[in-house]
């Protein structure tokens, strides 16, 4: 009886360890953009890409957003971990915007993402706009 309990505990801890280590950040399908947790992707459109890298698009998430500034702080961590550089942020708890950039060196492009969060307990939204422009020549 004691042997069965030990085996169950070992299996439980193994499953928990694999689940916690094996989860990679989720991405918006067809992009290298992190998804936005706790809201639902309701519109996704990649309008341009080069070499299988999304260069322009618009993605809309809807659901409860209680504080737009706090939501952007959450989002910022995921984007920084994915290699995006925060540039500027502005706003209030009811509506806030954060801009990120990331060079796509092999494409000679600078990609920018503008994320706007609008707070509402039921119908809040987070819009993610991806835009690219040529890297400046020196």
- Confidence at 9, pLDDT banded by 50, 70, 90: very low
The pLDDT, as a whole number, for residue 121 is 84
pLDDT digits (tens, 9 = 90+) for 54-63: 999 999 999 9
Domain count, the chain: 1
Per-residue confidence (pLDDT) for residue 18, from 0 to 100:
38
Considering the domain boundaries, does residue 60 fall inside one? Answer: yes
Instruction: Please check whether residue 10 lies inside any domain of the structure.
Output: no
Q: For the chain, give the DSSP string.
A: -HHHHHHHHHHHHHHHHHHHHS-PPPB-TTSSPBP-TTSEEEEEEEEEEETTEEEEEEEEEEEEES-HHHHHHHHHHHHHHTT-EEEEEEE-SSEEEEEEEEEEGGGTEEEEEEEEEE-EEEEEEEEEEEEEEEPPP-
Whether residue 8 lies inside any domain: the answer is no
What CATH number should be reported for the domain holding residue 126? 3.30.310
pLDDT tens for 50-96 read: 988 899 999 999 999 999 999 999 999 999 999 999 998 999 999 99
Q: What is the mean pLDDT of residues 16-24?
A: 43
Q: Is residue 14 part of a domain?
A: no
User: Residue 113 domain-assigned?
Assistant: yes
Residue 64: domain span: 26-134
Residue 12 lies in a domain: no
- Interval 2-20 mean pLDDT: 44
């Amino acid at each position: 009886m004691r042997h069965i309990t030990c085996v169950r505990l070992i299996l439980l801890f193994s499953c928990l360890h694999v689940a916690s280590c094996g989860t990679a950040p989720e991405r918006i399908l067809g992009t290298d953009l992190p998804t936005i947790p706790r809201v639902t992707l309701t519109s996704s459109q990649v309008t341009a890409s080069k070499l299988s890298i999304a260069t322009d698009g618009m993605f809309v998430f809807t659901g409860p957003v209680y504080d737009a500034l706090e939501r952007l702080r959450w989002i910022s961590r995921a984007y920084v971990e994915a290699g995006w550089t925060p540039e500027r942020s502005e706003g209030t708890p009811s509506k806030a915007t954060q801009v990120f950039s990331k060079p796509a060196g092999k494409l000679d492009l600078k990609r920018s993402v503008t994320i706007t969060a609008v707070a509402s307990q039921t119908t809040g939204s987070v819009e993610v706009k991806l835009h690219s422009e040529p890297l400046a020549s020196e």
